[in-house]
Amino acid sequence: MVVVVIVHRLRARGRPGSLGRGVPMGAGGRRLGGVSRSRLLILPALLALSLAACSGGGDETRASGSASASGSSATAASAASSRPVGTPDATTAPTQLTTPRASAVNTEAVESGDLGADQLDSVGTDEAVTVNNDVALQIGEIRSQDLAAGPGEIGGPGIVVPVTVSNTSGADLALSGLVITVSYGDEGTPAQEIVTSSDVIPASLAAGQSLAIERAFTVPAEGRGKVRIVVDMGAGYPAAVFEGAAPS
**Which pLDDT score, from 0 to 100, does residue 27 have?**
44
**Which pLDDT score, from 0 to 100, does residue 245 have?**
98
Nearest to 181 by CA among 150, 206, 215: 215
DSSP 17-56: TSTT------TTS-EETTEEHHHHHHHHHHHHHHHHHHHH
Amino acid (one-letter) located at 166: S
Quote the CA–CA distance of 112 and 96 in Å, as a whole number: 35
**pLDDT band of 113, cuts 50, 70, 90:** confident
CA 126, 131, 135, 136: dihedral to nearest 10 degrees?
10
Per-residue pLDDT reduced to its tens digit, 84-112: 458 999 999 999 999 999 998 888 887 78
Per-residue pLDDT reduced to its tens digit, 149-208: 999 999 999 999 999 999 999 999 999 999 999 999 999 999 999 999 999 999 999 999
pLDDT at 72 over 60: no
Q: Indicate the pTM of the whole model.
A: 0.66
| CB-count exposure of residue 65 (10 Å: 0-12, 13-18, 19+) | exposed
Return the ∠ at Cα 100 (arms to 99 and 101), rounded to 5°. Answer: 120
Percentage above 90 pLDDT, the chain: 58
